[in-house]
Structure 1
Amino acid sequence: MVNRAAKTDVVGTGFVVLDRVYENDRKAFEALGGSCANVLWSLAMLDRQVAPVLRLGADDVGQHLIAQFRCAGADTRFISTTESIASPILVQFTDTQLGTHSFSFMCPDTKAEFPRYQPIDHQEVEAAATVIEGCSVFYADRLSPAIVSAMETVAKQNGIVFFEPSAISDRTLFNRAVDCATIIKFSSDRLGSELLPTLSGKNSIAIMTHGAKGLEVIQGSNHIWSEAISIPEVKDTSGSGDMVSVGLINHLVETGQTAATVDLHAVFKGVRAGQRLAAANCSFLGARGLFEQASPQLARRILHEAVN
């Protein structure tokens, strides 16, 4: 049960879908998916007070996604459903022999296009204003005018704004998001050349990922390299980046960081914890396989041992 009186640790919005996972070309299962979903669900399973702010369709898929968040212990009051849209679905193809995965918005059986993600609007932000203004961390991996407005509100309240972009669509919105972000996590392949020059004169802390090699934690002219953690057998690498975000955000909340206090050392320590969680998660099928097929207790132990 969600403790309504407790301060919300993490409020988040962004890419949340129903994942239809195919293992070696055979349908294996359906589950809550998307980076935002993986991060928020996992943090809720770690007993953090989490509130997703989302816009889904008033359909069976939407109800299933809401139920998944609720079962994890998240506060689902701020997930709106509407008849005018359909909840998004994404197909994931996993090759457990090679440890690789790919994604598609097309049904492999009918070749029909699945519904896509729809961002929240100002109506959803206004309904969640209390938890947004009082949260410790605001997570976003997609942008809309309403999402950027929420990010700016959190920044003014000295909350940590964690921005995890995968692409740049609206340059004006993107620049506003970067300006108010405390931490920005992005792929070197996708956004490295565009973002690094922009961040050089800012106080924000960047996490630039380099796939299986590792990642860099950057603030100004300070760069810290963090090697990826290897494991004997890799079954599925999906969700690895999300687990790094989970470990970092969990550490920031646990240590009571704010936008004013968080520094390169605290971020690096949280990132290392997240990398250990990501490595362990690769032994399981699915983006949150460690939580679902082992236990949240194991995840907590991995994170605790990593920072102590």
Structure 2
Amino acid sequence: MMIPRPDTIDVVGTGFTVLDRLYADGDFTAEALGGSCGNVLVSLAMLHRQVAPVLALGLDEIGEQLFTEFEIAGADTRYIHRHPGRRSPVLRQELDTHSGQHSFSFTCRDTFEEFPRYQPIGHEELQSAMAALENCALFYTDRLSPAILDAMAQAYQGGAIIYFEPSDIDHTLFEEALAITSVLKYSSDRLGPELDELVAASAAIAIVTYGADGLELRHGYERIWSAAYPAERVTDTCGSGDMVSVGLIDWLLARTGPRLSGLGIHDLMGGVVAGQRLAAENCAFAGARGVFQQRDAAYVRSILAHARHTFPA
């Protein structure tokens, strides 16, 4: 496999990356690379974007499986570090395919033992990826830690778009991260009341999600509503938010310069709609990346291209 040079990297990312174990209607169905960061990065790699994950995994069978999935997808795996004595993270998903509803657990279904949890990168991983961080077009993360904040700052100083998708808030780090964030995507139900005013006062373009209803783009106090694209069939809604990010990031990579200079929320609608259409397609399949696994990357690319014709640059 050809390893891309640092100056050709589209996306450097770090954050929640786990092995998903999927149980559909009570039965074990599959296991695959998952977590929001893992889903977004491996999907973009499958779409032939130059992607470099920066991760800290265990030197174990699960770590090997996650590493191999990134490698097969075409990602640059030089910055995936595997540590002896560390166990790679696992997450269990329980899916009811009749309702499309799902739940998650960090315990084994059979033994009730706790699965190993995600651990963020540290100084070693950060230092190894400096050249990539300085030369990427976009930096993605869904978690914060001191080393991740430093990685974000390094990418920002190099002119990258900073795409931040938090699931919770660490107030000691969040305001520093928000100050250099280009696009902030978060759930209204989970973080809305806590973040809305703080984000409105920032320079970040916000994407606030409302589940099956749709999402809202915000910049300061300017707002645009984008209703969800209707799904023809709903088997599993897991991964819908990740597919929105995949569609938007792919669109951003094709259209923008550093830091979204001069672009407002109206300009991002094409990428948002592309992501929403991909999310709707993904709902027809079990698993967070079901559309990639049951169809293929060329089919996904055709979905994104349709939105490109609807919202030309």
- 2:65 matched to 1:64? yes
Aligned to 2:98: 97
Q: Deviations over 1:201-233 (max 9, x none)?
A: 221100000000000000012101000011232
Partner AA of 2:229 in structure 1: I
Matches within 5 A, 1:103-252: 103-168=104-169, 170-252=170-252
Partner AA of 1:183 in structure 2: V
Aligned to 1:299: 300
User: How many Å separate the matches in 1 of 2:25 and 2:257?
Assistant: 42
- 1:90/1:103 contact within 8 Å kept: yes
User: How many Å separate the matches in 1 of 2:195 and 2:233?
Assistant: 34
Q: CA deviation at 1:172?
A: 1.4
User: How many Å separate the matches in 2 of 1:121 and 1:229?
Assistant: 39
User: How many Å separate the matches in 2 of 1:259 and 1:202?
Assistant: 14
% identity of equivalent residues: 52
SS in 2 for 1:40: helix
SS in 1 for 2:206: strand
User: How many Å separate the matches in 2 of 1:203 and 1:264?
Assistant: 12
Q: Deviations over 1:270-306 (max 9, x none)?
A: 1110000000111111111111111111100000111
User: How many Å separate the matches in 1 of 2:56 and 2:160?
Assistant: 23
Aligned to 1:22: 23
- 2:232/2:280 contact within 8 Å kept: no
After TM superposition, the score normalised by the length of structure 2 is 0.96
- 1:2/1:49 contact within 8 Å kept: no
Q: CA deviation at 1:2?
A: 3.8
- 1:2/1:74 contact within 8 Å kept: no
Q: Deviations over 1:77-126 (max 9, x none)?
A: 10001113210000001110111110000001100000000000121011
User: How many Å separate the matches in 1 of 2:127 and 2:187?
Assistant: 32
Partner AA of 1:292 in structure 2: Q
| C-alpha distance 86-272 of structure 1, shift in aligned 2 (>3 A) | same
- 2:139/2:161 contact within 8 Å kept: yes
User: How many Å separate the matches in 2 of 1:73 and 1:232?
Assistant: 31
SS in 2 for 1:30: strand
After TM superposition, the score normalised by the length of structure 1 is 0.97
SS in 2 for 1:276: helix
SS in 1 for 2:117: coil
Q: CA deviation at 1:267?
A: 2.2
Q: Deviations over 1:22-43 (max 9, x none)?
A: 0101000110010000000000
Aligned to 2:53: 52
Q: CA deviation at 1:264?
A: 1.6
Partner AA of 1:235 in structure 2: T
User: How many Å separate the matches in 2 of 1:153 and 1:88?
Assistant: 27
Q: CA deviation at 1:260?
A: 4.4
SS in 2 for 1:259: helix
User: How many Å separate the matches in 2 of 1:293 and 1:239?
Assistant: 14
- 2:162/2:181 contact within 8 Å kept: yes
- 2:133/2:158 contact within 8 Å kept: no
More displaced 10-residue stretch of structure 1: 152-161 or 37-46: 152-161
Matches within 5 A, 1:272-287: 272-287=273-288
Give unpaired runs (5+ residues) of structure 1: none
SS in 2 for 1:107: coil
User: How many Å separate the matches in 2 of 1:154 and 1:134?
Assistant: 7
Q: CA deviation at 1:3?
A: 4.2
SS in 2 for 1:280: helix
SS in 2 for 1:216: strand
User: How many Å separate the matches in 1 of 2:16 and 2:172?
Assistant: 20
- 1:252/1:266 contact within 8 Å kept: no
Q: CA RMSD in A?
A: 1.1
Partner AA of 2:148 in structure 1: I
SS in 1 for 2:304: helix
Give unpaired runs (5+ residues) of structure 2: none
- 2:187/2:209 contact within 8 Å kept: yes
